[in-house]
Amino acid sequence: MIRNESSILDFGSGKLTVLVGERGVNRSINLLGSGEAHYGGFADGEWFEPEKLADAVSYAINNAETNSRTKIGRLFVGVPGEFTTAVCEDANVNFAKKRRVLPSDVRELFDIGREKYEGKPDYEVINQGAVWFQTDDSRRMATPDGLLTGKLSARLAYILCECRFIESVRKILAQAGIEEAEFVSSPLAEALYLFPPEARDQSVVLLDVGYITGTLSFVQGDGMINMKSFSVGGGHIAGDLSQILGIPFADAENLKRKVILSLDVSEDDKYEILMNGEPRAFPAKQVNEIVEARVQYIGEIVGKCLATEDNSGFPRYAPLHLTGGGLAYLKGGKEQLAKQLNRGVELTAPKQAMLNRPYMSAPLGVLDMAINETGSPPRQSLLARLLDRVKGK
């Protein structure tokens, strides 16, 4: 490849996205090309229309290659939350005497933490990161390199991906002529991309509601402490409108875009859309009630996910950051969610110029992670790359 670009494939719940990009100035991303394909999606960890998945992947890859004038050889694959599990482990190493922490000590900690997950037939570790490190005087920090201590402890986070997901996608990519693929967690990648280290050190709770699925993530430091996924999203709002009002799904999608939940609508207020080229009005009060009921249902699911309060739970003090294309665009949806959950809700999107849209959070997050890894030997382990980051490379 002539340029030092990276390529990614991200599986959204309504469409899949292939991006080709490189690092720009001030850590920005130069997007060189993209390809998209709508497909059946997934829910409850299962593909809809799996027989059409390979064609959709090939279509998106071919378009991205054409737009970027690049032949994709290595692809980073963003794995949705529904196909992954987040786990945490505490580990420590004792030294014979006080000395400076070495990268090999960090390597040993991660080896200890991941021992129980190695060789599992159903899962593979695809990401790992440190929530915090701690020295023998109880100081906690993000990176311990060079610190003087007699003991090094850490809380380490790992993301396990279902092997059946990896195997099925590798097979599809091989059919598309791509033999080299690396799998990373989309929810972790978008959290690392959207929030600077100092924000993540205080902990971040991120809610990505997509078209038919959503994922709630709790990230601290560089690690995913907890992650819960659910099979409901913005597409269900349009589905409710279509079913109750008896209109085609595409028209229901257009109607959804007109909705403003924060309005105090009267019996006479209407939302108007074009159907078959002709204007048609719908009672705003009825439409709002339909949409509010679905948002309330999503809020109930999120509330149950947030209810766990333990070492791996979701902290009550952290605001909820909302991203993704399923709910973030609904006017008044954020406010209804905040009221129902009784906590602050903030809309979050990439700060990338021209791409600062909530639905781009996951694809750009995966691309940012891929660009950070570009230049590493293809078979270099995730741990080795983590050590490079610890050393500031």
Residue 342 and residue 256 share a domain: yes
Q: Which is nearest to 166 in space by CA: 225, 227, 78?
A: 78
Q: Look up the pTM and report it.
A: 0.90
Say whether both 201 and 66 belong to one domain: no
Query: Quick one: 151 and 256 in the same domain?
Result: no
Same domain, 360 and 220: no
The CATH number covering residue 361 comes to 3.30.420.40
60 in a domain, yes or no? yes
Quote the CA–CA distance of 198 and 94 in Å, as a whole number.
28
Q: Scanning the structure block, which residue is given the tokens 């959804």?
A: 256
Co-location of 68 and 39 in the same domain: yes
Closest to 358 (Cα-Cα) out of 212, 217, 211, 243 = 211
Contacts of 388 (CB under 8 A, 6+ apart): 376
Do residues 358 and 371 share a domain?
Answer: yes
- Could you tell me the CATH number of the domain that includes residue 113? 3.30.1490.110
User: How many domains is the chain partitioned into structurally?
Assistant: 3
Half-sphere exposure of 25 (CA within 13 A, CB side): 1
The SS3 assignment for 358 reads helix
* Of the residues 116, 139, 162, the one at which a domain ends: 162
Same domain, 188 and 269: no
Does a structural domain hold residue 1? no
Are the CB atoms for 125 and 67 separated by under 8 Å?
A: no
**Contacts with 154 (C-beta within 8 Å, 6 or more apart), sequence order:** 90, 91, 92, 106, 109, 113, 130, 131, 132, 133, 134, 144
Q: Are residues 35 and 92 in the same domain?
A: no
Q: Are residues 211 and 335 in the same domain?
A: yes
Identify which of 278, 280, 299 has the alpha carbon closest to the alpha carbon of residue 241. 280
**Domain-terminating residue out of 140, 162, 184:** 162
Contact present, 320 and 346 (Cβ < 8 Å): yes
* SS3 readout for 2-55: CCCCEEEEEECCCEEEEEEEEECHHHCEEEEEEEEEECCCEECCEECCHHHHHH
Which of 146, 162, 178 is the last residue in one of the domains?
162
**Does a structural domain hold residue 293?**
yes
Q: Are residues 236 and 333 in the same domain?
A: yes
**Residue 342 domain flag:** yes
For 152, the 3-state DSSP assignment is strand
| Chain segment 136-176, per-residue pLDDT in tens | 999 999 999 899 999 999 999 999 999 999 999 999 999 99
Query: How far lies 197's CA from each of 84, 184, 223, in Å?
Result: 23, 19, 11
Asked whether residue 321 is domain-assigned, the answer is yes
326 phi/psi in degrees, rounded to 5: -85, -35
- CA dist., res. 196 & res. 177, Å (int): 36
By DSSP bridging, strand 204-209 and strand 223-230 are unpaired
The pLDDT value recorded for residue 314 is: 84
Task: Kindly give the parts of the chain with pLDDT less than 70.
Answer: 1-3, 309-312, 375-393
**Are 258 and 320 within one domain?**
yes
Domain co-membership, 33 together with 182:
yes
308 part of a folded domain: yes
H or E stretch covering 339: helix 333-341
Taking the C-alpha atoms of residue 372 and residue 370, their distance in angstroms, rounded to an integer, is 5
Domain of 221, in residue numbers: 197-348
297 part of a folded domain: yes
